[in-house]
A and B are shown apart, each in its own frame.
Chain A
Amino acid sequence: MAAPKWITAASLGLVGLGGLACETLDPSAPGNLVPPTVAEDASLPAIDMNGSRFHLETFGDSANPVIVFLHGGPGSDYRGLLRLAERRNGYSLADEYFLVFWDQRGTGLSMRHDKDVLTQAVYVNDLNALVDRYSPGRPVLLIGESWGGMFATRYINQYPVRVAGAVLIEPGPLDGATMERLKDDVSGTPLGAEWLNDYAWASQFLSPDDHVRMDYERMIGARDGQPRFHQSTVDPQPSWRMGAAANRYIAEDGQDRNGQFVYDFTTNLAAYTTPVLFIAGSWSEVLGPSLQQEQVLRYPSASLQVVEGAGHDVAWVKATEVLTQIRTYLDALKGGSQ
């Protein structure tokens, strides 16, 4: 909505000096505040499926077994997982597997959407479409981080035969009761926290009235918003864009009308007897070893490996160690035992 003209005129008259002569920018235009998505930049690697356009990259030989990577959030993107595609200690997962990295619907550099198609059921359909495209008739391996670990579990719960194995890196709570117990730790911040006041204060400068400004505002808390996750400040896990709408609506899809988390991704996990690997960073307080020790018990056959010297961003800051754990797990799967 435009400002009343007399307010604009009077204020600009008082400001008067510098800004008037300058070229002004549109906060909602693609590329000004946050990067353009695949809907706006045709040079980005992308695929069309399930009624949307997704940012996606693949590595390795498509004839090899497929690993699909599921990033965190909901609302983040796969940029912070790309170290797992690198060659480290002379080995790359792409030597033996076909790696598929994609930004989930409405996140990262994938196309934006409104609430009506930002549901967990649509996310599962998207993953089904991805599996059908890259691994038709053949189960895939899933590697999920944080929300991605929850997403992987939800998928396994619904389609156990489509998943040949899974690595879950600090997955969030796999059921609503656990989320209710931990939600203050996951999202809670003291009222006086500097970043929270910065976030509130920022609404006077750019109000979140469209996707771009919502996404931009969302990133104010990315650095300091979760201190108990103990994420690195010297080697921060990068991202392209926080999908604010996806973050909100995918989370809300797991809640009832009163805002209580009621989802349960574990109702059919008994049917999934394939070994599953959990990985946690030793410094991580909220979604770290103590939670994952509980969550491995939700699967019939799962184990937990704790990587020392890292927080929730263990897949980024300790990528070599995480890759070693993943390789050991995948080798064991190939050999028929873990």
Chain B
Amino acid sequence: MTRSLRIVVALVVLALAARDVAAQWNVERFGSTKNQVYTTFGLDPALVSSVGYGRVVPLLGREWQLGAEVGVVAAEFDMRDFRARLQARTAVLRWRSVRLVGSAAFITRGTENSIYRALNFGADVTGALGVYRRHWFVAGEFGRDKAIITHLTHSDWYRENFYPDAKDGWYLDAGGTYHYGVVSGVAIGRTELALRAGWQRTEDFNDLLPPMYASLGVGVGF
């Protein structure tokens, strides 16, 4: 089986077997597992299923996992509510088994609800500090997801029943969220399970609904 075929098969199997978030995988395994496919399912911030692929590459004297991930809102499997991420992760600091892991992602998101259709471009920067061993890790994470620019198109229903003069167009700096919590994982052979859970607030630290996030992911390295 060729490498590309193995990737496709693994993605399909994982998508069928489980369902996601922006998973955190064990940086201690970067040296032995160059490629990874994964799937996650969780509340982040809606019920989201994702699949992704990451590849470890040496860059600037470090090992980076560069990857791509796509997810859709799992409620009624609504393909209009989607998220795509291009991301990079690396261990920024090391001391014995302690690692400070940094990640950055460029995000494209879409949604359609009763009052608008939206396309958004944003970015996420997250740091995780914890203990990383070869077969397990646990860390605390803190990150910020910024909605940089969002295009809104209002629905006919909104115009007819609420506000006919609502303005369609590109909205700059429309929002952002902070997230903070715990991320942990265990490895069994080539398979890695990762759990991520915590709290989320707006960028002004106001409440959000839901106030928490949680996701479970499974990845296979090769």
Contact = CB atoms under 8 A, between A and B. Distances in A.
B198 interface: no
Q: Which interface class (under 10, 10 to 19, 20 to 34, 35 or more) fits B? A: 35 or more
A132 interface: no
Interface string A217-244: 0011011100000000000101111000
A192 B112 CA distance: 16
Contacts of B166: 32-34
Interface stretch (B11-19, B25-33, B172-180): B172-180
Interface of A (DSSP majority class): loop
A205 B174 contact: yes
A36 to B, nearest CB: 9
Given A8-B148, A240-B162, A203 B208 contact: yes
Interface string A170-210: 00000000000000000000011111111111111111110
Contact of A201 (B111, B114, B122, B171): B111
Nearest to A223: B114
A232 B47 CA distance: 28
Given A14-B106, A219-B162, A200 B171 contact: no
B150 A200 contact: no
Interface residues of A, number: 54
A213 interface: yes
Contacts of A335: none
Interface stretch (A19-27, A84-92, A140-148, A301-309): A19-27
Nearest to A15: B121
27 contacts: A1-B203, A7-B123, A12-B121, A12-B148, A14-B106, A25-B169, A27-B173, A32-B166, A34-B166, A35-B165, A192-B47, A194-B78, A197-B73, A198-B73, A199-B209, A200-B43, A200-B45, A201-B46, A203-B177, A204-B145, A206-B174, A207-B177, A207-B203, A208-B208, A222-B114, A222-B115, A241-B162
Interface of A: 1-4, 7-8, 10-12, 14-15, 19, 22-27, 31-35, 191-209, 213, 216, 219-220, 222-224, 236, 238-241
